[in-house]
């Protein structure tokens, strides 16, 4: 007999060892997230997946599911916090969607759409960040990095290479690569590596594939990230 | 001038006029719109100064001193100010120069081979003072509503305007909300 938690009043079954996020995704319940990807160990950094469990706010991607938990997720208060976090991500980087190859297929953008973000609200930081085009097949544009560490985890856990890492703290955090020169072209990253394909934004792009899909046919042009990630359809 | 019509002003700051083109993309619905509104300052009327208005629609970001002057005039005269398009909301494509030194930027545009002015950077006193960065208009004045897109579609503009004119809180369907 499976154990269950309750998410927004819905009974959601889980197996021992699953997180609240694992159980939610397995049952088609969407909890907004950016740094989480079921293929990798949880990171718990973006905080978009914060839910209220028995009166306490926790990251659902790292909190184990426990029998009888009463979870609130899709409520106005938490969605307002998620919107504010997403807006902060937009102003802390240089996210110029009209000029980005990832637009239409970008998870940061899609989460913003899902949350009804009409503007970044906060004053922009316009940080100085370097792009790195030294690799023959992969482009690194730090302007769009949201520090989710998915490339770090993919490189370490799947590719076995440790190409990427985060350096520094707070606003000075920087996505770095593991080569003496500091250039991506001098690492052993291959275009076939998982790390080259896992970025939720346009920070890591495959060269010579830009704007391959016309506007109107891209992933999030018609379908919300909720439906993409839960396999749902129009409601 | 009708006393009953809603008065609208529009302008383009550091933008490409694409949002105004999208405004024209509401096509034959313009005939219905013109029954409800009249335009004050706008590229559609060629009126140069903004007078008292109900709604001000601003396309483009702030990249020079003249942009600030125009924007403040809009804010002073318009009861409701709308930022339309990516440039007005976050600087958009013009903000791509924010990480480039302004002098380097001018040299690239005007001085290098193939540049626009045969090696001379324009320096007429009538030219507005450029800023070193392009800013969203919300960093200069209070903005009441934001309509994202590059540009927002004619349908999105129509939905937004008709919501506003009918006293509803503007709300876009999922497919009308996009940042590109």
Is A97 touching B (CB cutoff 8 A)?
A: yes
**Chain B residues closer than 8 Å to A102 by CB:** none
Nearest to A82 by CA among A141, A40, A34: A34
What is the count of residue pairs from A and B with beta carbons less than 8 Å apart? 74
CATH topology of domain B6-98+131-176: Rossmann fold (3.40.50)
CB contact under 8 A, A126 and B175: no
Q: How many other CB atoms sit within 10 Å of the CB of residue B36?
A: 15
**Which domains are assigned to chain A?**
3-74 (3.10.20.740), 98-228 (3.30.70.20)
pLDDT of residue A235: 39
CB contact under 8 A, A96 and B92: yes
Q: Out of B90, B135, B175, whose CB is closest to A222?
A: B175
The CA–CA distances, whole Å, from B150 to A66, B64, B84, B85, B123 equal 46, 21, 9, 5, 31
pLDDT of residue A107: 98
Radius of gyration of chain B (CA): 17
Is A104 touching B (CB cutoff 8 A)?
A: yes
CB contact under 8 A, A98 and B92: yes
Average pLDDT in the B76-94 region? Answer: 97
- Tell me the per-residue pLDDT of A30-67, one tens digit each, with 9 for 90 and over: 999 999 999 999 999 999 999 999 999 999 999 999 99
Which range is least confidently modeled, A16-30, A170-184, A187-201, B101-115?
A: B101-115
pTM of the entire structure?
0.94
What length does chain B have?
A: 180
pLDDT of residue A9: 97
Please check the confidence at residue A234 and state whether its pLDDT lies above 60. no
Share above pLDDT 70 across residues of chain A, in percent, rounded to a whole number: 98
Edge-first strand order for the sheet with A131-132 is: A131-132, A138-141, A204-206
Q: Coil, strand, or helix at residue A71?
A: strand
- Tell me the per-residue pLDDT of B138-168, one tens digit each, with 9 for 90 and over: 999 999 999 999 999 999 999 999 999 999 9
Mind giving me the DSSP string for A163-205?
-EEEESSGGG-EEEESSTT--GGGS---TTSGGGT--SSSSEE
Q: How many other CB atoms sit within 10 Å of the CB of residue B96?
A: 15
Whose tokens are 């609240």? That residue is: A20
CB contact under 8 A, A103 and B180: yes
pLDDT of residue B7: 96
Q: Cα distance from A5 to chain B (closest Cα, Å)? A: 31
- Tell me the per-residue pLDDT of B4-62, one tens digit each, with 9 for 90 and over: 799 999 999 999 999 999 999 999 999 988 899 999 999 989 898 999 999 999 999 99
Please check the confidence at residue B90 and state whether its pLDDT lies above 60. yes
Nearest-angstrom CA–CA distance, A118 and B143: 12
Please check the confidence at residue A188 and state whether its pLDDT lies above 80. yes
CB contact under 8 A, B180 and A128: no
pLDDT of residue A232: 74
Q: Out of B83, B138, B180, whose CB is closest to A98?
A: B180
- Tell me the per-residue pLDDT of B105-128, one tens digit each, with 9 for 90 and over: 988 888 877 666 567 888 899 999
pLDDT of residue A168: 94
Nearest-angstrom CA–CA distance, A89 and B94: 20
Q: Cα distance from B108 to chain A (closest Cα, Å)? A: 19
pLDDT of residue B48: 87
Q: Out of B133, B148, B177, whose CB is closest to A126?
A: B133
CB-based contact B22:B10 (threshold 8 Å) = no
């Amino acid at each position: 007999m499976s154990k269950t938690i309750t998410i927004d009043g819905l009974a959601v079954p889980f197996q021992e060892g699953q997180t609240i996020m694992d159980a939610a995704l397995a049952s088609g319940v969407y909890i907004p997230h950016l740094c989480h990807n079921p293929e990798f160990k949880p990171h718990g950094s973006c905080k978009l997946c914060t839910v209220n469990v028995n009166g306490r706010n926790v990251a659902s991607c790292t909190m184990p599911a426990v029998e009888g938990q009463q979870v609130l997720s899709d409520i106005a208060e938490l969605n307002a916090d998620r919107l504010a976090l997403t807006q902060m991500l937009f102003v802390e980087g240089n996210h110029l969607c009209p000029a980005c190859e990832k637009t239409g297929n970008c998870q940061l953008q899609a989460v913003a759409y899902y949350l009804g973000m009409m503007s970044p609200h906060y004053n922009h930081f316009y940080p100085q960040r370097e792009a790195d085009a030294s690799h023959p097949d992969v482009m690194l544009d730090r302007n769009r990095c949201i520090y989710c560490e998915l490339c770090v985890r993919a490189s370490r856990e799947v590719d076995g290479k440790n190409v990427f890492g985060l350096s520094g703290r707070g606003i000075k955090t920087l996505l770095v690569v593991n080569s003496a020169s500091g250039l991506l072209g001098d690492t052993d990253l291959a275009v076939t590596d998982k790390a080259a394909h896992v970025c939720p934004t346009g920070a890591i792009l495959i060269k010579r594939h830009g704007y391959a899909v016309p506007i109107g046919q891209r992933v999030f042009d018609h379908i919300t990230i909720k439906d993409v990630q839960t396999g749902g359809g129009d409601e | 001038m009708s006393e009953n019509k809603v008065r609208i002003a529009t302008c383009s700051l550091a933008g490409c006029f694409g949002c105004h083109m999208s405004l024209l993309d509401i096509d034959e619905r313009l005939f219905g719109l013109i029954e409800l509104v009249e335009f004050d300052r706008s590229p559609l009327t060629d009126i140069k100064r903004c007078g008292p208005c109900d709604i001000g629609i601003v396309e483009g970001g702030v990249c020079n001193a003249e942009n600030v002057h125009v924007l403040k005039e809009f804010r002073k005269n318009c009861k409701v100010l709308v930022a339309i398009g990516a440039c007005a909301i976050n600087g958009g494509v013009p903000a791509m120069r924010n990480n480039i030194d302004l002098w380097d930027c001018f040299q690239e545009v005007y001085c290098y081979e193939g540049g626009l002015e045969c090696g001379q950077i324009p320096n007429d006193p009538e030219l507005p003072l450029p800023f070193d960065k392009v800013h969203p208009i919300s960093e200069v004045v209070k903005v009441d509503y934001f309509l994202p897109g590059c540009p927002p579609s004619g349908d999105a503009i129509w939905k937004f305007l008709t919501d506003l004119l009918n006293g509803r809180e503007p709300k876009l369907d999922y497919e009308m909300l996009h940042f590109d």
